[in-house]
């Protein structure tokens, strides 16, 4: 009797256990599907590598993302064509807000070397610039060198010593011009060079050629200070101005057009920074009318 009763109870439990087991397996299956949908896994397994991009928190655990390093074109390096122009000009901008004359003049020497191969249009500009650079270098390295370390020091010394010209009155002997007046003339020429480089670098396809753009820069920066005859000679010279390809090839040899244009634009930005610093210093001291 007891055995029979036990057998009946076992059968009942077994009959009820089958639906419970099936229900448990069904719940387990549904949980597994939900896990696959959330995680991106396509099959249930002990080890799962979800497809698709990793979540944000995984990227954070792997360390900060680093932007790809910019590689400087050879033409902007220390031995590059533009690098030899930009480095001394950058160095001339000292932390005190002044302009170091020795570095400024070294930058001009490098700029003249860059512009000279571009043709006869630059002959009058580079010849004049070279003469003015030489005149200022004689002061920077001469007996009064202590007073010619920077633009501010030079202007202060020449004012105290009575060496400054009266505004708008040119000296009878240009060789005896004050250092401040000589630098002002270089300063104006730097503006033309900067505008010319910038416009050549930023030109759009099908737009004005380099001769037209640099001619416009000349009319903006230098023509107002030149007599009529010089302006007419410059206008004719710009007709034979080298094309943009020649500019880019000289500025960044061996580089592609996009890379060369970007390098030329950065050089123009350096010249602009030097021009703006110098313009402010000359204006503060009332020296913009010396010539």
Domain that holds residue 166: 74-284
List beta partners, residue 100: 150
Of 139 and 34, more confident:
139
Look at residue 65 and tell me if it is in a domain. Answer: no
**Co-location of 160 and 248 in the same domain:** yes
113 lies in the same domain as 18 = no
Per-residue model confidence (pLDDT) at position 247: 84
Whether residue 84 is contained in a domain is answered as yes
Residue 90 lies in a domain: yes
Q: At what angle do helices 257-284 and 101-115 cross, to 10 degrees?
A: 140
Q: Is the pLDDT of residue 26 over 70?
A: no
Q: Is it the case that residue 286 has pLDDT exceeding 50?
A: yes
HSE-up of residue 90 (Cα within 13 Å, Cβ side):
13
Same domain, 230 and 94: yes
Cβ(263)–Cβ(251) under 8 Å? Answer: yes
**For residues 281 and 184, what is the distance between their CA atoms, to the nearest angstrom?**
11
Tens-place pLDDT, residues 217-249: 889 998 898 889 888 888 887 877 778 888 899
* Domains identified in the chain, total number: 2
- Both 1 and 120 in one domain: the answer is no
pTM above 0.85, yes or no: no
Q: What is the CATH number of the domain that holds 193?
A: 1.10.3520.10
Mean pLDDT of the chain: 78
From the list 289, 290, 287, the residue with the least C-alpha distance to 99 is 287
Q: Is residue 61 part of a domain?
A: no
Is residue 30 domain-shared with residue 95, that is, in the same domain? no
Assess whether 172 and 253 both reside in one domain: yes
Best CA proximity match to 115, nearest among 106, 126, 101: 126
- Give the residue among 177, 111, 187, 183 at the shortest CA–CA distance from 150: 183
Question: Could you give the CA distance from residue 66 to residue 202 in angstroms, rounded to a whole number?
Answer: 29
For the stretch 86-137, pLDDT in tens is 999 999 999 999 999 999 999 999 999 998 887 666 666 677 889 999 999 9
């Amino acid at each position: 009797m007891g055995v029979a009763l036990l057998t009946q109870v076992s059968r009942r439990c077994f009959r009820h256990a089958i639906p419970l087991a099936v229900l448990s397996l069904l719940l387990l299956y549904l949980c597994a599907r939900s896990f696959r949908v959330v995680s991106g896994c396509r099959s249930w397994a002990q080890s799962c590598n979800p497809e698709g991009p990793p979540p944000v928190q995984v990227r954070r655990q792997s360390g900060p993302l680093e932007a790809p390093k910019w590689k400087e074109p050879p033409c902007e390096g220390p031995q590059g064509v533009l690098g030899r122009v930009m480095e001394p000009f950058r160095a001339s901008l000292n932390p005190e807000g002044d302009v170091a004359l020795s570095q400024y003049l070294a930058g001009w020497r490098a700029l003249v070397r860059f512009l000279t191969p571009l043709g006869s249009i630059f002959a009058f500009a580079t010849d004049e610039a070279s003469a003015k650079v030489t005149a200022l270098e004689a002061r920077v390295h001469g007996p009064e060198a202590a007073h010619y370390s920077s633009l501010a020091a030079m202007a202060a010394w020449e004012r105290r010593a009575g060496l400054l010209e009266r505004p708008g009155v040119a000296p009878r002997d240009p060789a005896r011009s004050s250092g401040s007046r000589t630098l002002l003339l270089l300063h104006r020429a730097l503006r033309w060079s900067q505008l010319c480089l910038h416009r050549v670098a930023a030109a759009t396809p099908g737009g004005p050629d380099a001769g037209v753009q640099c001619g416009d820069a000349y009319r903006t920066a230098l023509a107002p200070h030149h007599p009529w005859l010089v302006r007419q000679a410059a206008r004719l010279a710009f007709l034979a101005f080298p094309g943009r390809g020649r500019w880019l090839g000289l500025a960044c040899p061996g580089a592609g057009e996009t890379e060369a244009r970007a390098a030329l634009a950065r050089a123009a930005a350096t010249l602009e920074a030097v021009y703006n610093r110098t313009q402010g210093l000359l204006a503060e001291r009332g020296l913009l009318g010396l010539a």
